[in-house]
Amino acid sequence: MTARALPDTRAVEDWRYAPQAALAELWPLEAPDTVTVPAGEHFVRAIVLDTDAVVHLDLTLAAGATAAVHVVNVGSGYGRVEVTATLGAGADFTLGAVQLAGGSAMREIVASVTHAAPDATSRQIVRTVLGGQATGTVLGRIRVERGAIGTDAEQSIRAMLLDRTATANARPELEIFADDVKCAHGCAVGELDAMGLFYLQSRGLEPPRAKALMLQAFLAEALVGAEDEERLCALALAALEGLL
Amino acid sequence: MLVIDDLHAEVAGKPILKGLSLTINAGEIHAIMGPNGAGKSTLGYTLGGRPGYEVTGGSVTFEGRDLLALAPHERAAAGLFLGFQYPVEIPGVSNVQFLREALNAQRRQRGETELSGGAFLQVAKLKAGLLKMDMDMLKRPVNVGFSGGEKKRAEMVQMGILDPKFAVLDETDSGLDIDALRICGEGINTIMRKPGKAVLLITHYQRLLDVVKPDFVHVLAGGRIVRSGGPELALELEREGYEAVA
């Protein structure tokens, strides 16, 4: 594979939120980790990134194949996790990702799911918690190609800002070229559920602890069902404690 | 134990409670019944201190303290428990973790020593048993994947573990089948029917009151108590409807 040229982050949309200087340090990137999941087989991968790096997992799911990818993106510098998946007929793909950043960290999750054939299902759940002057970016794309009828795709992107000085970028994208498809998506940057906070406080938890548990719950949504859920949740919680 | 005097409260600028007065003594179980929109849940949330439920007049005194001056977690530590009509799901946080933290947070606020993990699990097991809930359920995330009835039983397990002096139970009977209703009702009796404790049951129906026998029944309509009586009042309401009675 020929090395790509360093993108100009001001001009190239997919690198729009990446810091040019940090990216130049990491360039040229390694080729994507390319995996083809054969028909009827199941693929599982956990990606934990806690250094300055750009990693890219590129999946192709044959008919009836399934895959579950879970991501924990934490660290003090620039780190980007990119997951692309192309789904064959009846394939099923799950992406559950969390990223946590404080200080001046910049973390990115880029997900692109292509429904290339009929009746595939996919869900993307990405949760971001940011403090300090950190920036967290999520680019999430669902592409439904012509003829991919019966597609059922979901995408949920949410971010929480612990400090007003942090920045969340979220860009959900739907490109649909087929009829008879279901694509649900939601995207929000906001506050913790007030009712949940009240519920926890009404049992005696002090407000900061209630908030921490709500954030734990917020992150857990993305990691639930992961093969090594316990380890990933512990990593996310450790990063969360560093932000609170 | 609890004295509510001329309480006025509003939600989003709309007055809901309009001069509600009620005195509950230790050892008593009171039931509040009333039509939809009367302000029953607002009363529960106002006592619990839910943000957005603004008190515009009157007072609430709990064991001589100004309850309304306390934050929700301080009300809990003071001995108040609010049973939710719709218990909230908290994914990723187990009942055991949540309840141990909550109990120890209350104990800290009261200047008591915290319970160790082992001591807590013993208490939890005992209280879960009262509500016929096994410990595996308590190891699962708070209310996630629980049926309506399981959520209500889990609320009662929480009440058993936290062991409050005073419980406001908001439609604990809604969504329960006959067996679960009896289990919850008996749980309330076992946990709260004690000389130093009191309960305010908020309900629409007589059926919970067949199990948890109230000492007093009140009818709430238009944001005030419009009638009070003994257990016979609940039967009269069931027979003749709110409109005829209130």
ipTM value for the complex: 0.96
A217 and B CB contact within 8 Å: yes
Phi/psi of residue A186, nearest 5 degrees: -145, 145
Q: How far is B82 from chain A (nearest CA, A)?
A: 7
Beta strands in chain B (DSSP E): 2-11, 14-24, 29-33, 53-62, 65-66, 80-83, 90-94, 141-142, 166-170, 198-202, 216-221, 224-229
Q: Does A196 touch chain B (CB under 8 A)?
A: yes
Give the tens place of pLDDT for each residue, A19-44. Answer: 999 999 999 999 999 999 999 999 99
Give me the DSSP letters along A112-132. Answer: EEEE-STT-EEEEEEEEEE-T
Contact B101 A213 (CB under 8 A): yes
Question: Mutating which of B98, B143, B159, B162 best tests the A interface, going by the most A Cβ atoms within 10 A?
Answer: B98
**Section B151-166 average pLDDT:** 96
- Domains, chain B, ordered by start: 2-245 (3.40.50.300)
**pLDDT value at position B238?**
85
Question: Is the pLDDT confidence value at A1 over 70?
Answer: no
CA atoms of B159 and B233, how far apart (whole Å): 27
pLDDT recorded at residue A3: 59
The number of distinct structural domains making up chain A is: 1
B182 close to B211: Cβ distance less than 8 angstroms: yes
Position B245 pLDDT exceeds 90 = no
Q: Between chains, do A205 and B102 touch, taking CB under 8 Å as contact?
A: yes
Write the DSSP assignment of A132-151 as a string of letters. TT-EEEEEEEEEE-TT-TT-
Chain A neighbors of B72, CB-CB under 8 A? 198, 201-202
How much of chain A exceeds pLDDT 70, in percent?
Answer: 99
pLDDT above 80: residue B135? yes
Q: Would you state the pLDDT for residue A157?
A: 96
More confident residue, A1 or B129: B129
Chain A nearest-CA residue for B94: A217
- Which residue from A44, A49, A37 is spatially nearest to A68, judged by alpha carbons? A44
For A221, the closest of B48, B91, B98 (CB atoms) is B91
Full domain range(s) for residue A84: 13-190
Please tell me the distance from the alpha carbon of residue A190 to that of residue B95, in angstroms, as a whole number: 26
Query: Pairing mode, if any, of strands B2-11 and B53-62?
Result: antiparallel
Closest CA to B131 of B101, B102, B172, B168: B172
Cis peptide before A28 (omega within 30 of 0): yes
> A196 to chain B: which residues are within 8 Å by CB?
88, 90
The distance in angstroms from the start CA to the end CA of chain B is: 27
A208 in contact with B at a CB cutoff of 8 Å?
no
pLDDT in the model for residue A39: 98
Reduced to 3 states (helix: H, G, I; strand: E, B; else coil), residue A210 is helix
User: What is the end-to-end Cα distance of chain A in Å, rounded?
Assistant: 43
* CB-based contact B71 A198, cutoff 8 Å: no
Nearest Cα residue to A109 out of A222, A21, A225, A238: A222
Task: Compute the average pLDDT of residues A1-5.
Answer: 63
Question: For residue A199, is it within any domain?
Answer: no
H helix intervals, B82-201? 95-109, 117-130, 135-139, 148-162, 178-192
On the question of pLDDT at B227 being above 80, the answer is yes
| pLDDT tens track for B30-63 | 999 998 889 999 999 999 999 999 999 999 999 9
Q: How far, CA to CA in Å, does A66 sit from each of A45, A62, B97?
A: 12, 9, 33
Give the residue numbers in B contacting A (CB under 8 Å), as ranges.
48-52, 71-73, 75-77, 81-82, 84, 87-88, 90-93, 98-99, 101-103, 105-106, 109, 141, 158, 162
Dihedrals φ, ψ of B37, to 5°? 80, 5
Backbone angles phi, psi at A238, to 5 degrees: -60, -40
Angstrom distance (rounded) from CA B102 to CA A200: 8
A195 occurs within a structural domain: no
| pTM summary value | 0.90
| Contacts of residue A230, Cβ cutoff 8 Å, sequence gap at least 6 | none
Return the structure tokens found at B245: 């009675």
**Chain-chain contact of B51 with A198 (C-beta, under 8 angstroms):** yes
Bridge partners (DSSP) of residue A138 are A109, A170
Residue A224 domain-assigned (yes or no): no
Q: A244 in a domain, yes or no?
A: no
